[in-house]
Amino acid sequence: MSHHSDENAVYASTDSFWEVGNFKRTTKRVEDGNRLCDDLMKLVSERAEIEKMYAKSLKEWAKKWNNIIEKGPEYGTTEAAWKGVLMEAEQRYELHTHVKENLINEVHGNIKQWQRENYHKSMMGQLKEKKDIEDMFKKAQKPWAKLFEKVNKSRQTTTTHARANGQHRTGRNAGGDSSLSPDQHNNIKVKKLQDRVSKARRR
């Protein structure tokens, strides 16, 4: 029986979703979804603030120029035309104020409500929905994760034995070559040991 925890038992060897542990890219979408709700609410809030500032600027501009026209020399139909421009600004002020209120009360409010209903944080700050899905994936993968770990261990054992046998054969072949002098045999052994040390360092 393995002493490793399920969390660290086996790691995926490819990028395939079906490999053990690769479900984490999927469960991360839960976290991403919650974060995107925050980002979208921020986006809407900033746009609402722009609408508010624009409406306020129009209102102040219209008020300023209305006073100037009232006190100025312009009269008759031309004065009415000037004031018509200011009236349009007043109407646009009301329109953008309405847009700002809708963005905050409806769009921002609905996103916040949806987030509250679909994402729940535990006392540790982790999303409950993410943890639940991860637990289900782990449970589903547990049987073949154990088998996969056994296969990997068997593979490693086989590879180790194969290397040991190969080195033994190579050494025996070199040792049995009567055309080589004792110094040449020693040089071959030293070279092999150096190769093994180099390979071990590269790992």
Residue 5: per-residue pLDDT: 44
Which residues have C-beta within 8 Å of that of residue 189, sequence separation ≥ 6?
171, 174
Residue 115 and residue 34 in contact, taking contact as beta carbons nearer than 8 Å? yes
Higher-confidence residue: 146 or 159?
146
Residue 188: per-residue pLDDT: 72
Higher-confidence residue: 40 or 74?
40
Rounded Cα distance between 144 and 100, Å, is 55
pLDDT over threshold 80, residue 44: yes
Residue 71: per-residue pLDDT: 92
Higher-confidence residue: 180 or 157?
157
Residue 52 and residue 97 in contact, taking contact as beta carbons nearer than 8 Å? yes
Mean pLDDT for all residues in the chain: 81
Higher-confidence residue: 166 or 92?
92
Two tokens at 160? 């180790």
User: Which among 143, 146, 137, 139 is positioned nearest to 17, based on CA atoms?
Assistant: 137
For 74-111, what is each residue's pLDDT tens digit? 899 999 999 999 999 999 999 999 999 999 999 999 99
Residue 138 and residue 160 in contact, taking contact as beta carbons nearer than 8 Å? no
Residue 62: per-residue pLDDT: 96
**DSSP per residue, 95-153:** HHHHHHHHIIIIIIHHHHHHHHHH--B-TTS-BHHHHHHHHHHHHHHHHHHHHHHHHHH
pLDDT over threshold 70, residue 175: no
Residue 170: per-residue pLDDT: 55
For 48-72, what is each residue's pLDDT tens digit? 999 999 999 999 999 999 999 999 9
For 107-155, what is each residue's pLDDT tens digit? 999 999 999 999 998 888 889 998 898 888 888 888 877 887 887 788 7
Q: Look up the pTM and report it.
A: 0.60
